[in-house]
Amino acid sequence: MSDRRIAVIGAGLTGTVLAMGLADRGHAVHLVERRPDPRRAHVDGDRSINLALSHRGLSALAKVGLDRQVVDMGTPMRGRIMHDRAGDLTYQPYGTVPEHHLVSVSRNGLNSLLLDGCELRPGIEMSFGHRVLDLDLDTGTIEMQVDGGADVHRRYDVVFGADGAFSAVRQRLQRTANFDFEQDFLEHGYKELTIPSAADGSYQMEPEALHIWPRRSHMLIALPNPDGSFTGTLFWPLEGDRLRDLDAGRARDLFADDFADALELIPDLEEEFRDHPVGNLVTTRCAPWNLDDRILLVGDAAHAVVPFYGQGANAGLEDVELVLDRLDTTDDWERAFADFAVSRKPHADALAQLALDNYVEMRDHVASRWFLWRQRIERWLHRLLPHQFVPLYTMVTFTSTPYADAAERARRQQRIAGVVAVTLVLVAVLVLIVVLALVR
């Protein structure tokens, strides 16, 4: 065991995997979580969010030996199925080869599995119901409130802030000089809805796909669960007549207009509308992510993104892998933290933009003919030149290509695809002219 006193704040997806990775390297870790243990208590206000995990997240989970278990507990999604207003369906594969698929997994189920993994490691001490209130940067003392009651204080040499988008550790850093922070709330919120299984337990829609009802200003998506149900998420503008004020009765009318085929599958629409809270979606950017070798932010605490590329958790887990890789090569934690923070930041910023752009793509472009043609051309170019031309979605979702590099490469490829498309049209026109001339 090393003699560093280490705290990981936040026992979500990122914090648990980080704690396991550190424990596997011989460090004693105190994992501090404000909520009760989700495996033993129902957490109030908890939402049944499903996550799409892909290459980056699974790669990090493999480092703590849990990737297979996670794949087994999830449901594969091989493509997306678009539902138009008339209920007609269009299928788009996610990848370029059959092995390319996402894994739909319950966030709570995954979190519980990761907590079990922490519990199996004697080097990890877990404290639930401990909310971090403040941090003394000079002494490394953390002030925690236990179960909403008394405060306790404990000292650490290293504190990892894995405490999510509204991180208390980051808020402490925000009170230091030269710390940049910005947050942007999306003008759309979300509400979770359940599409239950059929009476015989079977799925009511194709299970191995993510379903989308794109409607330009808003959309509904649904991800499969292993029990035959789907978790639906309605993304809708917060303002105007919109999501926050939408009463349960009007919800049925709106669904009848916009998502008629889904409405048939959600018997408890009114109850769910009434009972489920409206979630907010935020992008945060901050720097620096570390304070010498004493504090490091990871996951949503460092870079929360909107969920439309399905990458928030994947990116947080990839952070963990990148941090552990650095700690494997040096004892100089200050250098390791700074190197991670500086080199990763542009990629987190690029992901934030990709996620925002993908919202427009998902709720609007996926329904357009031009988009579907572009996708076909991209797939065709990839088949023709597999190493030179890789679709952006493939790079982001099925490889570890750093996000900013993927975005830059995609811009170059898009120019090429545009030239190819124009050339094809010109050749077609030319052939037509020649044929017409010959016929005459």
In the complex, which residues of this chain contact ligand FAD (CB under 6 A)?
A: 9-15, 32-35, 49, 51-52, 131-132, 162-164, 168, 190, 233, 279, 299-300, 307, 310-314, 316
Report in angstroms how near the CB of residue 283 gets to ligand FAD at its nearest: 11
Report in angstroms how near the CB of residue 120 gets to ligand FAD at its nearest: 19
For ligand FAD, the closer of residues 312 and 391 by Cβ is: 312
Report in angstroms how near the CB of residue 237 gets to ligand FAD at its nearest: 16
| Nearby residues of 337 by Cβ (< 8 Å), 6 or more positions away | 289, 290, 292, 293, 296, 323, 326
CA atoms within 13 A on the CB side of 209: 17
Distances (CA, A) of 424 to 108, 200, 420: 49, 50, 6
The residue number with the shortest CB distance to ligand FAD is 12
Please choose, from the candidates 271, 275, 272, 191, the residue with its C-alpha nearest in 3D space to the C-alpha of residue 233. Answer: 191
Report in angstroms how near the CB of residue 152 gets to ligand FAD at its nearest: 12
Report in angstroms how near the CB of residue 250 gets to ligand FAD at its nearest: 22
Q: Fill in the DSSP letter of residue 389.
A: -
For ligand FAD, the closer of residues 163 and 349 by Cβ is: 163
For ligand FAD, the closer of residues 2 and 93 by Cβ is: 93
For ligand FAD, the closer of residues 288 and 310 by Cβ is: 310
For ligand FAD, the closer of residues 123 and 232 by Cβ is: 232
Q: Are 403 and 117 in contact (CB under 8 A)?
A: no
For the chain, give me the number of helices (H) and strands (E)? 13, 20
For ligand FAD, the closer of residues 394 and 413 by Cβ is: 394
For ligand FAD, the closer of residues 170 and 382 by Cβ is: 170
For ligand FAD, the closer of residues 172 and 382 by Cβ is: 172
Q: Which residues of 320-358 are buried (b: 16+ CB within 10 A; e: fewer)?
A: bbbbbebbeeeeebeebbbbbbeebbebbbbbbebbbeb
Phi, psi of 17 (to 5 degrees): -70, -40
Q: Fill in the DSSP letter of residue 42.
A: P
Report in angstroms how near the CB of residue 233 gets to ligand FAD at its nearest: 6
Report in angstroms how near the CB of residue 390 gets to ligand FAD at its nearest: 20
| Nearby residues of 47 by Cβ (< 8 Å), 6 or more positions away | 192, 276, 277, 279
Report in angstroms how near the CB of residue 281 gets to ligand FAD at its nearest: 6
Q: Are 10 and 162 in contact (CB under 8 A)?
A: yes
Please tell me the distance from the alpha carbon of residue 146 to that of residue 36, in angstroms, as a whole number. 10
**Residue entry with tokens 């049925």:** 252
For ligand FAD, the closer of residues 153 and 412 by Cβ is: 153
Report in angstroms how near the CB of residue 266 gets to ligand FAD at its nearest: 17
Q: Are 11 and 29 in contact (CB under 8 A)?
A: no
Burial of residue 98 (number of CB atoms within 10 Å: 0-12, 13-18, 19+): exposed
